[in-house]
Amino acid sequence: MKLIVADYLAALLAWILFYALRKYILHEMSEGISFFLLGSAVMIATFWLLLYTLIGQYRDIFRKSRVKEITNLAQISFLGAIIIFFALLLDDEGVENYRSYYKTISTYFLLHFLITGIFRTITITSIKKLIRQGKISFNTLIVGSNANAREVYLELEKNNRHLGLKILGYLHVFQAIETLFVNELKNLGYYQKLPELIKKHNIEEVIIAIEPSEHKKIEEILGLMEGENVRISILPDLYQILLGSVKVNHLFGTPLIEIKQNLMPVWQEVLKRVIDVVASALFLLIFFPVYAMIAAMVKLSSPGPVFYKQERIGKHGKPFYIYKFRSMFIDAEKLGPSLSSDYDPRITSWGRFMRKVRLDELPQFWNVIIGDMSLVGPRPERQFFIDQIVKIAPHYKHLHRVRPGITSLGQVKYGYASSVDEMVRRLKFDILYIENMSLAMDFRVMLYTIKIIVEGRGK
């Protein structure tokens, strides 16, 4: 809240000073300037807050670096000044030539950058002071009890005054309990208690400090924390450092791999949702006759309803009903849940064609509009199959960090899965999508989906 107030006041002051200097830049003061100033000052300050929010400036404000903030602020100030210039100052009647334009935009950019930079530096410094005094702290757990874990603990304790980490204890990972921490840190038990301890002690940070070669164990630990709102860091090995995958966070005195919590910038998240809703609504309106024709064909192909709904698991593990055009005979799953295959006798002749060109998925645009799904995202599965997948691949839960999609990278690269083993093999493509989420990636997946539909390579 302090940073938001500081940014708002800085934006107001910069705009007011800019107009005070404007008469010297343009050698006159336009009529009605006072009225314009009163109305525009609040609007401009609000614009800056919105811009900062969309770019993600108010994420993780307690761990900001003053030097990095000034660098980022210079870039954002330039972007915002350009937007304001074209929106409000380009048609300024007092401007006589292009030199005046350059002076106008340069003056505003410098004023905003300098004033906001001063306000932010003061605010962040005051926050860091509270951290050093222990008034702001972050409850932390260390997972591991070997020499590596102790080394990480000592490094963090040495820098703890600046980090604000309040290390509550450690958890054992392997059955052979070592006692390296016995006189330094509290033993909180076995690592499988992680979810319980996170809730009980309001944990905000977890550091996994076991051998990086223990991939399966690390995967299991990450699976336990899936869905928990905590920062996660992992101790890397020399090979990962040499590959350049390890970035030293300015908060830590030891190199750690931080698990990315925010998959996309805020502005991309907002724009992705806007595109989902607008594109889905337009598609439903434009292709309404196609929907009517498909519905008629479904009705003629076999007895039963036109639409079929089925419970699937969505974002954050929340169940929802997915809608499809019915492609199977009625009571196709009277013996229990089962996956379809290439020559599944339960599929109608018209249903087989719909699946090849993905027409059966068209009702899911309604799921997108109501917020259950996105245009692009991992395909949602039923809880029955998720329970089987998680036994083989616990990291499947990672997919629940995002909205499921009508199409996905896993679907276009691998296709429909007809068994749990195939679902697990397809999983790597969906994980790859999540770790590289962007609007550009969504666009490529949609283009590839159109290519598959045109070629009739669906199943």
pLDDT of residue 112: 93
At 46-105, the pLDDT tens digits run 999 999 999 888 887 777 777 888 889 999 999 999 998 888 766 655 555 567 667 778
List of residues 6+ apart from 387 with CB closer than 8 A: none
At 265-308, the pLDDT tens digits run 889 999 999 999 999 999 999 999 999 999 999 998 888 899 98
Does residue 449 carry a pLDDT above 50? Answer: yes
pLDDT of residue 444: 92
pLDDT of residue 32: 46
Does residue 365 carry a pLDDT above 90? Answer: yes
Query: Rounded mean pLDDT of the chain?
Result: 83
Distance CA 323, CA 317 (A): 18
DSSP designation for 220:
H
Distance CA 374, CA 153 (A): 42
Does residue 457 carry a pLDDT above 80? Answer: no
pLDDT of residue 321: 95
Percent of the chain with pLDDT over 90: 30
